[in-house]
Amino acid sequence: MDETLAIELRGISKAFGPVQANKDISIQVKRGSIHGIIGENGAGKSTLMSILYGFYRADSGEIFIGGNKTEIPDSQAAIDAGIGMVFQHFKLVENFSVLENIILGAEDGRLLKPSLSKARKLLKKLAEDYEMDVDPDAIIQDLGVGQQQRVEILKALYREADILILDEPTGVLTPDEADHLFRILQGLRDEGKTIVLITHKLREIMEITDTVSVMRRGEMTATVKTAETSPEQLAELMVGRKVLLRVDKTPAKPGDVILHVENLRVVDGQKVERLRGIDLEIRAGEVLGIAGVAGNGQSELLEVLGGYARGTGTIRVNGQPIDLTGNASDARSRRARGIAHVPEDRQREGLIMDFAAWENIAFGYQDDPEFAPGLLMDHGAMRRDCEGKMERFDVRPPDPTLAAKNFSGGNQQKIVLAREIERNPDLLLIGQPTRGVDIGAIEFIHQQIIALRDQGKAILLVSVELDEIMALSDRIAVMFDGRIMGERLPSETDQRELGLLMAGMTGTAAA
């Protein structure tokens, strides 16, 4: 029995029908360490942690916690074993208070008052010990995402978790919030807690972890000390080949103004103003990146420009006004004006998941003469067009008849990109281009965006990944609460300054 190990998994396998999600995985996690787990989308990371947390039962293998063989048939058994998990999408009741969320499921009997009193005292101590100041009486829906995440961590600590699993914890945080989270995790480690960090961000792995395990196609390919590896080596272990981690591009050569936006405003169905007077311009041959924490108006900006939503103000494309409120304000009219759109949510807005790849690649353009030379659509021409696009965009498997739902996330994204980019648009709107995408596909997608820029196209890029914004953009505009807080050149700013602007701080604070 090795008591220096907080976790040991031996020979863990798990299949879902014909798909082998985990194959004979063994891993050791030292007590009092931060252990990273990385791998491509679908590598089996989340399945493995879901087995450890009791969401799934392994088909075979053994789990040891603190050196003792432990059965974990459900999440309550995991909690009893001292394991807590903070999910990428928080599991909080939004109209409950912080205190009520903390004790939910861990009440001392049927009377809530004693439980709340005990929890208030313990919560105060935990918050002081780990720099997680949160108002216990605040309602969850009134808190920012950074504070909601602290509530999730406090909830696990309240249940006396010694092992904390975090799944993609920085996806919705500003850089300052991410830095604060890392300080919290380091403090927890110094107190003897064990942290397992699932992330696809190599920078975070290098910055915060002591040890990192790499998964590929359901198998564990390597476990190394973080200090003895590099981002390049980890990327190669993840995908099985060398990956270019930097974006290779020449300086932009901006031309004429393609998109002009002035005083753009959007009010949603609840009468809440989501865009509050947006002004921006994009020229031919440049990428304008929009940085910001999700939910600050970026989605509404893409929707209005793409014809999905209505607004007020002025939009001109190639000097000609765009209708924002009338019958001509729709996605079809935008395509006719030379605007292509890769939406933020490929599955809900970019694809019909039950339809074949060839049908999805034709969507929006099915009335073009090449697809509809007469009264009827030419399905053969659509399939041939799809085959060519699949080859040029390296879609795998290159099967036009396969339903969109049967492709991986990265290949689904390539289908949408192929459809929009190869229409030779004057303006490409692209939202979250690499969300949930494998590192190898990220490299390819970035190359396609820069190639389009170099062809003289204007590109509006929205991404919550600051690394991506910094790498691809020629100019960066930062949005907060429906407004543009400032514009910067990537060569003249850094993630800290952008993070301050993303938090709504201007003037000397972000200068």
The type of residue at 213 is: S
Residues 403 and 44: their CA atoms lie apart, in Å, by: 22
How far is 402 from 500, CA to CA, in rounded Å? 45
**pLDDT class for 72, splitting at 50, 70, 90?**
very high
Model confidence at 5, pLDDT cuts 50, 70, 90, reads very high
pLDDT in tens, 10-19: 999 999 888 7
Percent of the chain with pLDDT over 70: 95
Q: Provide mean pLDDT across the span 199-209.
A: 88
Dihedral over Cα of 235, 241, 242, 247: its sign: negative
More confident residue, 436 or 254: 254
> Looking at residue 328, what is its pLDDT?
58
Residue 70, pLDDT > 70, answer yes
Average model confidence (pLDDT) across the chain: 89
Q: Report DSSP letters for 418-476, one per residue.
A: HHHHTT--SEEEEESTTTT--HHHHHHHHHHHHHHHHTT-EEEEE-S-HHHHHHH-SEE
Residue 509: per-residue pLDDT: 42
Q: Mean of the pLDDT values across residues 279-307? A: 94
State pLDDT tens for residues 358-395: 999 999 888 888 888 888 889 999 999 999 999 999 88
Start and end residues for every CATH 3.40.50.300 domain found in the chain: 5-239, 257-347+425-509
Question: Residue 479: is its pLDDT beyond 90?
Answer: yes
Cα gap 109→102, rounded to integer Å: 15
Look at the domain 5-239 and name its fold: Rossmann fold (3.40.50)
CA gap 291, 289 in Å, rounded:
6
Q: Over 80: is that where the pLDDT of 437 sits? A: no
Calpha distance 41→438 (Å, rounded): 5
The span from the CA of 247 to the CA of 450, in Å, is 9
pLDDT confidence of residue 207? 92
Structure tokens at 386: 């799809």
Q: Give 79-137 pLDDT, tens digit per residue.
A: 999 999 988 777 889 889 988 888 887 665 555 566 677 788 888 888 888 778 888 88
Two structure tokens written together for 452: 């389009």
**More confidently predicted of 193 and 199:** 193
Does residue 144 carry a pLDDT above 70? Answer: yes
pTM > 0.85: no
- Whether the Cβ atoms of residue 395 and residue 389 lie closer than 8 Å to each other: yes
- pLDDT (tens digit per residue) in 146-155: 788 888 888 8
CATH label, 257-347+425-509, candidates 3.40.50.300, 3.40.50.410, 3.30.70.20, 1.10.443.10: 3.40.50.300
Characterize the bridge pairing of strands 34-39 and 312-317: unpaired
